[in-house]
């Protein structure tokens, strides 16, 4: 069952946070958590009014093709190389209501599994027409859409032969830059998902499924692009797993 098929929450009442829903800070098979996980008790620091209300992003800063990774880095008349896909969905609150006006950013490897940055260690070829990042604003119903290429899997120096499943990184901003959540989206049917040490840190199968985008044939463009649906739930019992914050937005 994908995150798009899970049962809707009951209306009304208070939905308590389930802090056990997120993975532990230390997960031995994921070697980086040895250094990244805290060694002392966590301390909660209150935010200031300035941090909660600003700075804000300007919607006018987005370009016409910012959500189209096929062409937003390409030379005129050219396009990114790889299987063309559409990623779409909605930003939702704990009651299933759409969250409008959220800034959604994505970044990913190219179709060969390589990122465009100086310290990339994978030998797969770079695509000169693919920058690997895009952004958009959620609509009145919380909807968003991106065009891009299917990212490839890639090896990483966690174990002797560990590979990351194909994935897309998501960042969701609220009304200010201090309101930011980060997560990853995987693709339905990828056999590398259960083999990934990062995915293995998630506590339950249901938790993993919140990060798996379902193939959506209804939104597929014939002879052009497959479509995947990925809803992001900010809080509540259906909350999507986030990398940077346990409590949600």
Q: For every one of its 249 residues, what pLDDT tens digit does the chain have, with 9 covering 90 and above?
A: 344 444 455 555 556 667 677 888 899 999 999 988 988 887 877 877 777 776 677 767 889 999 999 999 999 999 999 999 999 999 998 888 999 999 999 999 999 999 998 888 899 999 999 999 999 999 999 999 999 999 999 999 999 999 999 999 999 988 766 778 999 999 999 999 999 999 999 989 999 999 999 999 999 999 999 999 999 998 766 778 787 765 444
* Position 39 in a domain: no
Active site residues: 115, 154, 164, 167, 169
* Position 149 in a domain: yes
* Position 9 in a domain: no
d(CA 137, CA 100): 8
Three-state DSSP state, 126: coil
Please tell me the pTM assigned to this model: 0.88
**Domain containing 131 — which CATH number?**
2.60.130.10
Helix (H) or strand (E) holding 205: helix 205-209
Q: What is the number of domains present in the chain?
A: 1
Domain range for residue 176?
64-233
DSSP string, 76-116: TT----S-EEEEEEEEE-TTS-B-TT-EEEEEE--TTS--S
* Position 20 in a domain: no
> Which residue, among 106, 137, 98, 75, has the nearest Cα to 232 in the 3D structure?
98
* Position 208 in a domain: yes
């Amino acid at each position: 069952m994908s995150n798009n098929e899970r049962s809707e929450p009951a209306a009304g009442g208070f939905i308590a946070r389930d802090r056990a829903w997120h993975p532990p800070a230390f997960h031995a098979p994921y070697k980086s958590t040895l250094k990244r996980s805290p060694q002392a008790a966590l301390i909660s620091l209150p935010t200031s009014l300035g941090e909660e209300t600003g700075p804000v992003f300007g919607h006018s800063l987005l370009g016409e093709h910012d959500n189209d990774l096929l062409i937003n880095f390409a030379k005129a008349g050219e396009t990114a190389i790889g299987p063309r896909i559409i990623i779409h969905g909605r930003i939702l609150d704990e009651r299933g209501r759409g969250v409008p006006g959220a800034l959604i950013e994505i970044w990913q490897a190219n179709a060969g599994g390589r990122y465009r940055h100086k310290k990339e260690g994978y030998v797969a070829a770079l695509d000169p027409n693919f920058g690997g990042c895009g952004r958009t604003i959620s609509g009145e119903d919380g909807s968003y859409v991106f065009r891009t290429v299917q990212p490839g899997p890639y090896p990483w120096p966690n174990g002797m032969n560990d590979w990351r499943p194909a994935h897309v990184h998501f960042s969701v901003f609220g009304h200010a830059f201090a309101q930011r959540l980060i997560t990853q989206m995987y693709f339905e049917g990828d056999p590398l998902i259960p083999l990934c040490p990062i995915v293995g840190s998630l506590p339950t199968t249901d938790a993993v499924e919140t990060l798996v985008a379902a193939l959506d044939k209804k939104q597929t463009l014939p002879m052009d692009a497959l479509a995947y649906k990925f809803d992001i739930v900010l809080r509540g019992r259906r909350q999507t797993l986030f990398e940077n914050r346990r409590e949600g937005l």
